[in-house]
Structure formats: structure tokens, C-alpha cells
Amino acid sequence: MLELLRLSRRFGRVVALDDVSFSVAEGQIVGFVGPNGAGKTTAMRIALGVLTADAGEVRWRGETLDAATRRRFGYLPEERGLYPKMRVLDQLVYLARLHGLEPGEARRQAERTVALLGVADRARDRTESLSQGNQQRVQLAAALVHAPEALVLDEPFSGLDPVGVDVLSGVLREQAAEGVPVVFSSHQLDLVERLCESVVLIHHGKIVAAGRIAELRAADPRHLVRVVVAGASPGWLDRLDGVLVLEPLPDGAILELTDRAREVQVLDAAREAGEVRHFSVIQPSLTEIFRRAVQA
């Protein structure tokens, strides 16, 4: 289990992290979610020892994380970085060596990782000659090359095309299946919902919600309805009582109702207003859960 315990960190007058705690169990994929500047990168940098915390500690398998253990972690920094002029394979061998692998093992792992991420055919090329997407894959290979014990990935999906997203999702699931704890930050909440069982929501340096997504949903008492009506005159929703528009959609909206009884009222009003194309009672999405947590 990777545990971040009561981490605090300031930059001058800005509080980047305020008493942040969460944990990632072996084999678990945790999504780390929050707006820009919420403190995700700071927390991840502290977990990897690139930054120091003002207070709090990071534990791995119950013990305070030291430099030797950290080197067995895999890290993808938010600011991507590779040696532009180095050849892809040489670069991965070098990083594997820095992570403590012997030369022969480093080479084997580097070859395995480029194959895993589908860039084996570019292994002999200079990194700068690769496309952005392929450089991103090499960057991920750099985080995985030493068969890490834990994975900390800062925005791993940004910059990937849909095929790359699928490849990476598969890799992360495999890693988790092998018992590696995986934590990654992302803005793409739909992706987090698909990939993670648990999430940690951070806002202004504070954890605002954390846990299994299903439980967070169950704990959300709101009644949400998604409705789409063709040919309705604008503003038909404004006339309804006890209904709040959470998110406007084309020809419709996601609505929050004060109580379940109002579902029928909304449906009646929709039928009056035009041709109902869609009407469903929905569970709150991660976006909704996050919005609510932030407002609380």
C-alpha cells in the first residue's frame, strides 16, 4: 500500500497542499482528479521525492519511503522530458540503469517495454525524430522500463490519440493485475470512470472526496434526470418548480430534482413542450460528484 499521510506544502504564500492524505492499495488503480492548480502535481512530486513536503510523510508497505525504495517506483512527470538527441532504446537502458538494473537486464527490459507500448520499430531512432504521440509512448516506457513496484503518473493520457489511450489503459490494467498500485491524475473524467474503481478528488490543496466511485455515487442523495425534447420552445424548463438545471444539453438538460415525486411532473411538462426523445433517471457522473464536492 502506498500511503500519503497528512502532506502539507506551501510555495511562498500559496498553500499547494493542506493536510492531504490518501492511499493506493496493491493492484488498485486510483484516479487523482481536480482542476488545474489543485495540488495534484505537487502531491505526486512529493510522493516521488522530487519535492519535499513541509509536513507529513509518504509510506510504502507501512514504512517511510526512502530514496532506495523510490527508485523502484515508476514516475511520469507532468512536464514530459527525454533527451532529445538520444536514441530511444539507449535512453530507456540508461533510465533502467539509473533505477538500479544491471546492464543486461536493463537492455532486456528496455526492449520489452518498447514492444509493450508499440514503439519497437522506432527504438534505434533519435527521440526528437518521433511524433509527439510516439514520444509520449516512449515517456511512458521510461516510467515502466524497470518493472516498477508502484506507478505514479501525472496526466498520462494527455496528448495520446484514441489508440494510444486504449494501449495505455490496457497497460495500466495489466500492471494493476500484477499487483502494482497505480495512481494517475487526469482531467478526462469519463476515462477515470472507465478505468478506476476509486478516485481521490482534490480542490485548492484539500481532498474533497475520496473512495470507490460506486460508493461516492450511492452517497450522493440527489435525484438526477436527463431529458431531451425536440421542438420545444426555449425556456419550458424555467416554468417548473423544484427543478434545477445542472447542465444544459442540446435540446435538453441534466436536471436535479428536489424529490423523486417530481420526475413525473418533468416528464409531463416535457411531453407538453414537444417530442420527448430521451428521458432517464441517471446516477451522478464523476463530473457531477466533483461539482457537488467542490461546492460543499
Partner 1 sequence: MRGLWRVVARREFVERGRDRGFVISTAITLLILVGVIVLSSVFGRGTRFDLAVVGEGSMGEDVVAAAAALGIEVTLVEPADARAAERLVRDGGADAALLDGDRILVRSNPAEQLVGVIQAVALRERSKAALVASGLSEMDVDAALAQPPLPVRALDPVDARQRENAVVAFVGVLALYGQLFAYGYWVASGVVEEKASRVVEVLLATVRPSQLLRGKILGIGLLGLAQLLLIGVVGLGTARAVGSLEFPSGAVATIGVVLAWFVLGFFFYAGLFAVAGSIVMRQEDLQTTMTPLTIVIVASFFVGINATQDPGSTLATVASLLPPSAPLVMPSRIVLGEASGWSIVLSAAVSISATIALIPIATKIYSRAVLRSGRVRIRQLLRAERS
Measured CA to CA, the distance from residue 126 to residue 130 in angstroms comes to 7
Sheet holding 252-257, edge to edge: 243-249, 252-257, 223-230, 275-282
We find the least distance from the C-beta atom of residue 67 to partner 1, in angstroms, to be 7
97 is a site residue for partner 1 (CB under 8 A): yes
Q: Which of residues 153-212 bind partner 1 (CB under 8 A)?
A: none
142 is a site residue for partner 1 (CB under 8 A): yes
| Spacing of C-alpha 184 from chain mean position | 5
102 is a site residue for partner 1 (CB under 8 A): no
Measured CA to CA, the distance from residue 157 to residue 31 in angstroms comes to 12
Measured CA to CA, the distance from residue 31 to residue 270 in angstroms comes to 37
Closest CB to partner 1 among residues 75, 290:
75
Size of the site for partner 1 (CB under 8 A): 29
Judged by CB under 8 A, the stretch of 92-100, 229-237, 270-278, 283-291 that binds partner 1 is 92-100
245 is a site residue for partner 1 (CB under 8 A): no
The angle that helices 88-98 and 132-144 make with each other, rounded to 10 degrees, is 30
67 is a site residue for partner 1 (CB under 8 A): yes
Measured CA to CA, the distance from residue 52 to residue 55 in angstroms comes to 9
Given 27, 35, 37, 84, the residue binding partner 1 (CB under 8 A): 84
Residue type for position 84: P
126 is a site residue for partner 1 (CB under 8 A): no
Closest CB to partner 1 among residues 54, 190:
54
Judged by CB under 8 A, the stretch of 77-85, 226-234, 270-278, 279-287 that binds partner 1 is 77-85
Could you tell me the sign of the dihedral formed by the alpha carbons of 158, 182, 295, 53, in that order? negative
Closest CB to partner 1 among residues 77, 205:
77
Could you tell me the sign of the dihedral formed by the alpha carbons of 23, 180, 216, 10, in that order? positive
Residues near partner 1 (CB under 8 A) are 45, 48-52, 67-68, 70-71, 73, 75, 77, 79-86, 90, 94-95, 97-100, 142
